Copies of this chain bind each other. A is one copy, B any other.
């Protein structure tokens, strides 16, 4: 809606691909160099871009710090964290917490596996939305039209033979997940990694987040992992209770 701001913001994803010089930015924006320069300068003043020694621009530190703050005032996260840690202490596997927000699902917390073989993932990273167990739970709860629209719009990359192949299959899977109230990903993203996940609900019953336990099958088989399901669900329910119940504990910020 605001052309100038629109252009300025478009620079950021562009720089996320890697550093770029003024000319490249101007070209990809389709504007004159002087225009790009002024936009970059403004971004620079705010610390969103950084000018490295070779004069090229890349994303700046303030952006990282801001994102950090953004995550820190997600209240689900605060409440969930100790539960995730406790679950990790019980089973030793990687525990994730994820939320859905406007066509993306992303991890907002993680407790690392205590086994030497760890899976790759990072807080803040958008998850493989068509296969991840947490994504299924979050999308399954969307209003039907929105869910359908989103499913149609997605790509369905075949990470493995067991990846969700297309929108129809995905919608069917979501329906199933919706009914059973939990989800799995059995080798749909990484051949050897399995997950079980459960939803965290707000006071109105809507799914506000999802948590999962993941483990490579060199550590435990899928069947063994599934035996953790009741525990995972109980943990998720405990978080739900605390989240919707508004525990009076810890109300530091007004």
Contacts and interface: CB of A to CB of B under 8 A. Distances in A.
A95 to B, nearest CB: 14
A6 to B, nearest CB: 6
Interface range for A:
35 or more
A181 interface: no
The interface centre, meaning the residue of A13, A18, A67, A99 with most chain B CB atoms within 10 A of its CB, is A67
Contact of A4 (B2, B16, B104, B123): B2
Nearest to A65: B126
Interface centre among A5, A45, A66 (most CB of B within 10 A): A5
Nearest to A103: B47
A1 B45 CA distance: 9
Contacts of A9: 8, 42-43, 46, 48
Interface string A87-106: 00000000000010110101
A62 B8 CA distance: 15
Nearest to A100: B61
Given A60-B102, A61-B104, A101-B61, A5 B66 contact: no
A121 to B, nearest CB: 11
Interface stretch (A69-77, A170-178, A185-193): A69-77
A89 to B, nearest CB: 10
Interface in A101-121: 101-102, 104, 106, 108, 112
B66 A13 contact: yes
Given A61-B101, A61-B102, A2 B66 contact: no
Contacts of A238: none
A125 B62 CA distance: 10
9 contacts: A2-B41, A2-B42, A9-B48, A60-B102, A62-B104, A63-B66, A65-B125, A68-B125, A112-B112
